């Protein structure tokens, strides 16, 4: 009987440990325009706000007016367009070794991923009903809807896999369109028309990314002679809390400024 009680206690501790791991924070919402919502596992759906912690299995939904930017512990970022549904399926990261893995699902809409430590190891993946996409050291945009999946490679190596096989995009400014899980498309160069019709990931005029009082921000290239602005930190960014706060603040400012600036891909 004592042995059974011991086993029961061990199992209970293991269950609590597993629950704690699932509730562990994996990232933070650094910019949010309404209406954007999140649904943590086992909890009700609620509006997402700047500074909210993001945990395992959390689902995020944006309406026609909503946009979100998430910053993860490995320094990767995920920008979410309007009318999008995603889920953070899994995120494991050891800052001491820099090892781990990340898995996100996109079931509707569009996202832009900028890789951090995990993607540089090839340990970041985004899955859709049409294909699973692996990312190595890269930046990409993905759009999924009734016409299938379009993957744009901005930088790095992108691997696309589904029931029809596997293809790799290792050149910037190339894309592939996948109609469904059983087909693979041709890799094509991104056109100006593609760029003009990319989804919106930034704030619109009058929005502030969820930071009250943030308006009319001027962004310049920090450290470039003659192009410095008041947004640049006075000292170089260091791997400290203060340096990261400076960086996060300018990222938020850039979200607002991006609503009035059109960026073209380098050819």
For residue range 63-84, what is the model confidence (pLDDT) as tens digits? 999 999 999 999 999 999 999 9
CA 73, 79, 85, 86 torsion: positive or negative?
Answer: negative
What is the predicted pLDDT for the residue at 6?
A: 40
Low-confidence ranges of the chain (pLDDT < 70): 1-23, 208, 211-267
What is the predicted pLDDT for the residue at 235?
A: 43
What is the predicted pLDDT for the residue at 245?
A: 54
Radius of gyration over every alpha carbon of the chain, rounded to an integer in angstroms: 20
What is the predicted pLDDT for the residue at 25?
A: 87
Distance of CA 88 to the CA centre of its chain: 9
Domain topology for 24-196: Jelly Rolls (2.60.120)
| Segments of the chain assigned to CATH 2.60.120.1440 | 24-196
Own/partner long-range contacts of 123-127 (Cβ < 8 Å, ≥24 apart): 123/99, 124/76, 125/101, 127/89, 127/103
Give 199-231 pLDDT, tens digit per residue: 888 877 777 677 665 554 444 455 554 444 444
What is the predicted pLDDT for the residue at 206?
A: 74
What is the predicted pLDDT for the residue at 21?
A: 44
What is the predicted pLDDT for the residue at 56?
A: 87
Whether residue 50 contacts residue 31, with contact meaning beta carbons closer than 8 Å, is answered with yes
What is the predicted pLDDT for the residue at 213?
A: 57
């Amino acid at each position: 009987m004592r042995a059974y009680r011991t086993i029961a206690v061990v199992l209970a501790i293991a269950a609590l440990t597993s629950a704690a791991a699932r509730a562990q924070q994996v990232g933070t919402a650094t910019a949010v325009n309404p209406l954007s919502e999140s649904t943590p596992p086992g909890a009700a759906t609620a509006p997402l706000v700047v500074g909210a912690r993001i945990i395992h299995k959390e689902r995020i939904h944006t309406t026609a007016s909503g946009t979100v930017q998430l910053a993860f512990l490995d320094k990767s970022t995920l920008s979410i367009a309007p009318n999008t549904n995603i889920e953070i399926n899994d995120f494991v990261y050891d800052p001491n070794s820099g090892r781990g893995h990340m898995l996100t699902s996109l079931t509707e809409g569009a996202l832009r991923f900028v890789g951090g430590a995990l993607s540089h190891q090839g340990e970041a993946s985004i899955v859709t009903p049409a294909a699973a996409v692996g990312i190595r050291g890269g930046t990409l945009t993905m759009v999924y809807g009734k016409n299938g999946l379009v993957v744009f490679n901005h930088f790095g190596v992108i691997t696309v896999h589904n029931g029809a096989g596997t293809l790799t995009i290792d050149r910037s400014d190339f894309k592939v369109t996948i109609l469904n899980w059983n087909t693979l498309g041709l890799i094509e160069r991104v056109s100006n028309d593609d760029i003009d019709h990319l989804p919106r990931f930034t704030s619109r005029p009058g929005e502030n990314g969820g930071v009250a009082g943030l308006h009319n921000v001027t962004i310049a290239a920090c450290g470039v002679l003659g192009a410095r602005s008041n947004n640049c930190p006075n000292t170089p960014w260091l791997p400290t809390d203060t340096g990261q706060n400076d960086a996060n603040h300018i990222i938020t400012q850039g979200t607002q400024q991006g609503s009035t600036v059109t960026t073209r891909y380098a050819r």
